[in-house]
């Protein structure tokens, strides 16, 4: 039997996830020259790291540096 919300409506998992993402997540983006991005992607592949992991590590390093000042 499908789950229901407090008002008796069927629970919509996709809608819930979309709402949660809007409230709790942000996107970080940047544009670089194609050659630079291609070299970056090749380097990531060579070291076996995902783009999201590399960006998160860099962001954590910046936050740590700021806290240490």
pLDDT for res 1: 64
Rounded to the nearest 10°, the torsion over CA 32, 53, 19, 26 is -40
If pLDDT is split at 50, 70 and 90, which confidence band does 39 have?
very high
pTM summary value: 0.72
pLDDT tens-digit series, residues 52-62? 999 999 999 99
- Alpha carbon distance 12, 3 (integer Å): 9
CA distances from 6 to 9, 20, 21, 51 (A): 7, 18, 21, 40
pLDDT tens-digit series, residues 21-38? 999 999 999 999 999 999
């Amino acid at each position: 039997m499908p789950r229901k919300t407090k008002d008796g409506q069927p629970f919509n998992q996709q809608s819930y996830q979309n709402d949660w993402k809007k409230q709790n997540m942000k996107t970080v983006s940047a544009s670089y020259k194609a050659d630079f991005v291609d070299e970056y992607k090749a380097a990531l592949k060579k070291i076996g790291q995902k783009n999201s992991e590399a960006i998160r590590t860099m962001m954590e390093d910046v936050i740590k540096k700021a806290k240490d000042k």
